Amino acid sequence: MSAELGVAAMKAEELSAEEIVAEVVRQAVQEDGGANVCLTSSFQTEDMVVLHMLREHLPKVPVIFLETGYHFAELIEYRDRMARDWDLNLVNALPQTTLEVHEKEFGLLHIVDPTKCCAIRKVEPLMRSLEPFAWWFTGLRREQSPTRAGLKKIEDHRLPTGKVLKKVSVLADWSWAQVEAYASEHQIPRLSLYDRGYTSIGCEPCTAVPVAGADARSGRWGGKKLECGIHTFSEKQ
């Protein structure tokens, strides 16, 4: 990492989301023409907001989506519609095995051992997909759950292979109200599942509408855990 990048990382907490996006992309373009930047997206509103900002600078930024085989039909329809309407460079990250083979070997693993299921169908495909990149943008926010309360806007992460890349969460200090306001201002289409009361949307069998007053991710995995492992399996530096 250059000295200039080090300064940018240290000052990131003081910068707006748009300023961080512009600075990181400027540096990334100098390094590798911008080919070293990606966004992971579950096509929830936070991710669409970050994608909207990124597309201002990198219209064809790779958008990595974890195709687990268990997603809501409404989410897949929204993903495909937005990929078409926004002409996205969509990268569907697939597990090593098909869902049919997975269930033949493990049964309904998402019920008996959801952590192992996530490791196979989400964590491994993502870690593999991140290998070509140096900058990893996310839509994570501190407000989403207690596990994300200490999130920094720019952090170093080591992948299982030992490669270190920068994880950039430009919305870390945003509230849900700010996310919704940005999406409304920029006319970002809304995923219909929000209208049914969902506040954090993952695989359909592992996602429920949270109880009133609970944090946004409390409806995931029947309340047994708050993270699939994507943001905990990679080692922070």
Please give the pLDDT value at position 1.
38
The answer to whether residue 228 is catalytic is yes
Per-10-residue mean pLDDT, the chain, length 237: 49 91 93 95 97 97 96 97 98 94 89 89 94 96 81 92 95 95 98 90 85 56 48 46
Q: Which pair of structure tokens corresponds to residue 63?
A: 């958008």
Please tell me the distance from the alpha carbon of residue 55 to that of residue 61, in angstroms, as a whole number: 7
Instruction: Give the C-alpha distances (Å, rounded to integers) separating 234 from 39, 123, 128, 159, 164.
Output: 16, 9, 11, 5, 9
**Backbone angles phi and psi of 149, in degrees to 5:** -60, -30
Helix (H, G, I), strand (E, B) or coil at 92: strand
DSSP labels, 8-31: HHHHGGGS-HHHHHHHHHHHHHHH
In this prediction the pTM is 0.85
Please, which residues bridge with residue 154 across strands? 168
Q: Which pair of structure tokens corresponds to residue 90?
A: 């969509």
Helix (H, G, I), strand (E, B) or coil at 139: coil
Structural domains in the chain? 3-236 (3.40.50.620)
Please tell me the distance from the alpha carbon of residue 114 to that of residue 117, in angstroms, as a whole number: 5
Which residue's structure tokens are 């049914």? 196
Structural contact between residues 32 and 134, judged by C-beta atoms closer than 8 angstroms: yes
- Close Cβ partners of 211 (under 8 Å, ≥ 6 residues apart): 218
Please give the pLDDT value at position 208.
80
Please give the pLDDT value at position 224.
56
